[in-house]
Amino acid sequence: MSKVHNYSAGPCILPQEVMKEAAASILNFNDLDLSLIEISHRSKDFIDVMEEARSLVKEILEIPNGYQVLFLQGGASLGFLTAAYNMMGANKTGGYLVTGAWAKKAAKEGGFVGNSKIIASSEDKNFNYIPKNYSLDNSLDYFHVTSNNTIFGTQLKSLPETNVPIVCDMSSDIFSKKVNISNYDLIYAGAQKNMGPAGTTLYIVKDSVLESNAVPIPTMLNLKTHVDKDSMFNTPPVFAIYTSMLTLRWLKKNGGIDWIEKLNQSKADLIYNEVDRNSLFTGTANVEDRSNMNATFDLTNQDVKTEFDQLLAENNISGLKGHRSVGGYRASMYNALPLESVEVLVNSMKELENKKG
């Protein structure tokens, strides 16, 4: 394969060795002379996959006792509803920090289950910052935050001091940096950024959440259903879980969260330093809220756009176009994107400066 620098915002780049092992297992899994995708999910071979995947999540994220790990389906979009059902308590009110399009959708689903209260929103500036000076009423059943806003390029750097249970959609930055799991009652994340291919959704849930019975919960949306069956209540998305397990093995083998957090910081420093240094570029998000996963930026002069896009194409840089609601460019630098790919991008930005500066 020739080298493509894959900046896709998700589904996104995964390690090459993961691709190779996933492909091999589709042909012959565990030397069974059967494909991974044609064996029973109740077979020992697949139960071992599920258990290793759950156990790697616990180990890599240093999850304390008293939490359960599940691999379910439906993406964060179904997570919005699942979170509200499982977190809604006696006051039937959830608070939401609306920091982007996905956070807004989460708040909408909260309103289906109970009252959804928007605590703060940055929609006034097209979500280019994280609201900070807000107060949280202790009567909230939960407070829902989105740790990283893929579209807008902002990231939550701290949590409020509060007794309100915190729920977090961590889809686009889970496994990218150290997180204190005990700050959260519920975390959920679509796999298709740092964990694996599209098709499975990770849930990390505190045991106390499973005891709640403030509202009736449909079977499949009740996390207790899945905890009671070791994440195998119904047929799981076998391939997505297996490939996530391979990706987590890769992460552990290379040094885990300490290693990847440093690498991600280096990648982010490299691109943001260039955005700030090079007068042809400007950052989109508020500087202190910038995401280490998705760097959003634009040209200061649109006249050179054709030339820059041509440089990107020449250098095999793929997926850099910004989301339609923001425009400009977005460099999604998930775990498996090598530092080298960011160097190639930064060199293209310098090359544009040399030509036009």
Cα(10)–Cα(219) distance, integer angstroms: 29
331 - beta bridge partners? Answer: 295
Catalytic residue status for 193: yes
Planar angle of CA 80, 229, 43, nearest 5 degrees: 115
Following DSSP, what letter does each residue of 290-343 receive, concatenated?
B-SSEEEEEES-GGGHHHHHHHHHHTTEES-BPPTTT-SEEEE--TTS-HHHHH
Token duo for residue 218: 């449909």
Among 139, 182, 183, 235, binds a second copy (CB under 8 A): 235
CB neighbourhood size of 50 (10 A): 20
- Stretch touching a second copy by CB under 8 A, among 158-166, 216-224, 273-281, 342-350: 216-224
The distance of closest approach from Cβ of residue 337 to a second copy in the complex, given in angstroms and rounded to an integer, is 10
- Stretch touching a second copy by CB under 8 A, among 31-39, 154-162, 248-256, 302-310: 31-39
Q: How do beta strands 115-121 and 93-98 pair? A: parallel
Does position 24 interact with a second copy (CB under 8 A)? The reply is yes
Contact track, a second copy, 260-289, x by CB under 8 A: ------------------------------
Q: Which is nearer to a second copy, 280 or 337 (CB)?
A: 337
Q: Is the separation of the CB atoms in 339 and 267 below 8 Å?
A: yes
Give the count of alpha carbons within 13 A of 169, CB side only: 30
Among 34, 47, 120, 159, binds a second copy (CB under 8 A): 34
Q: Which of 193, 203, 191, 160 is nearest to 63 (CA)?
A: 203
Among positions 35-64, residues that touch a second copy (CB under 8 A) are 35, 37-41
The distance of closest approach from Cβ of residue 76 to a second copy in the complex, given in angstroms and rounded to an integer, is 8
Catalytic residue status for 259: no
Q: Which is nearer to a second copy, 69 or 240 (CB)?
A: 240
Contact track, a second copy, 94-123, x by CB under 8 A: -----------x--xx--x-----------
Catalytic residue status for 250: no
Q: Which is nearer to a second copy, 168 or 238 (CB)?
A: 238
Separation in Å, CA 300 to CA 63, 215, 330:
44, 51, 15
Cα(338)–Cα(332) distance, integer angstroms: 11
Note the residues at the interface with a second copy (CB under 8 A).
Answer: 1-4, 6, 8-14, 19-20, 22-24, 26-28, 32-35, 37-41, 73-78, 80-81, 105, 108-109, 112, 190, 192, 197-200, 216, 218-221, 233-240, 243, 318-319
Active-site positions read 102, 169, 193
